[in-house]
Amino acid sequence: MYHSIMKTGYTRAQHRGGTNMSRYPFQAKQLSYGYISFVPYCDPDTLYLHHNRYYTKKVQELNRLVVQHRLEDTSLENLLTQKINLPIVQEEQLKSAAGAVYNHELYFDSIQNKIGSPPLNRLVGVLISIYGSMPRFKRLLLEAAESIPGSGWVWLVSERNGGPHIAITRDNEAVALDSVQPILAIDMWEHAYFLDNQFDKEKYLDAWFSFIDWEKAEKRFLTSYY
């Protein structure tokens, strides 16, 4: 289930938040950094298995399901936002595969291979105005992560009027792409962090936060105005 953790008084506005209009055959995207880029915070084997095995397998699964159900002309975004005329179990299987692909592509694109502090750009300025400070914002991300019963995702999303907030989804569910603009995505499945951090989600999130690509996040945030 999609849970929006509102920390603002902004009103939800309907708009087309997603930008991934890729279609079958879906291709596993290459990383913009190497598997060794995050040592000692993330072991190369962890990133290799996450990207080259789990994510790539989900891309292959999505292609198989799309062909099986004759949906080759349907974009990835529409697979997630539209009602698919299939029995409920088959529809959920298809949307789970599509969500896994979409979510991982944003997750991998949310970080870069260099440590940096959040720049005082428009997005960071808005986050500070809402949450009081970036450390408090990071603390709320951790609280959101720890609130997920089982596996799922933590998101920073934005309304059309530029009002960002934290959200969580269960399993491989994506956020409502027809309602919000995703800015950042954090994978809270154990395959993303357990080999390096065991049950220490705070250690995992601290490392992830230090590698955020704030320039890309800013660009995604600014599209929420249009």
Residue pLDDT, tens place only, 6-58 = 333 222 333 333 445 799 999 999 999 999 999 999 999 999 999 999 999 99
Q: Give a yes or no: residue 105 inside a domain.
A: yes
User: Angle, nearest 10°, between helix axes 134-146 and 122-131?
Assistant: 70
Instruction: Tell me the per-residue pLDDT of 95-154, one tens digit each, with 9 for 90 and over.
Output: 999 999 999 999 999 999 999 899 999 999 999 999 999 999 999 999 999 999 999 999
CB count within 10 Å of CB 163 equals 20
Q: Which of residues 109, 128, 161 is at a domain's end?
A: 109
Q: Locate 149 and state its tokens.
A: 């019963």
Indicate the pTM of the whole model: 0.90
CATH of the domain at 68: 1.10.287
206 and 119 in one domain?
A: yes
Name the helix (H) or strand (E) containing 78.
helix 76-81
Omega before residue 40 within 30° of 0, cis: yes
What is the domain count for the chain?
Answer: 2
Query: pLDDT above 90 covers what percent of the chain?
Result: 85
Q: Give a yes or no: residue 216 inside a domain.
A: yes
Domain that holds residue 86: 44-109
Comparing C-alpha atoms, which of 150, 138, 147 is closest to residue 210?
Answer: 138
Q: Give a yes or no: residue 147 inside a domain.
A: yes
Query: Which residue is associated with the tokens 């956020």?
Result: 175
Q: Which of residues 89, 109, 129 is at a domain's end?
A: 109
Residue 132, amino acid: G
219 and 122 in one domain?
A: yes
Question: What is the widest separation between alpha-carbon atoms in the chain?
Answer: 49
pLDDT at position 7 is 36
pLDDT at position 3 is 53
212 and 164 in one domain?
A: yes
pLDDT at position 172 is 98
215 and 124 in one domain?
A: yes
171 and 71 in one domain?
A: no
pLDDT at position 225 is 67
The confidence band for 2, taking pLDDT boundaries of 50, 70 and 90, is very low
pLDDT at 161 over 90: no
Looking at residue 35, the DSSP 8-state letter turns out to be T
Q: Give a yes or no: residue 37 inside a domain.
A: no
Average pLDDT in the chain: 91
Q: Is the distance from CB of 163 to CB of 87 less than 8 angstroms?
A: no
139 and 208 in one domain?
A: yes
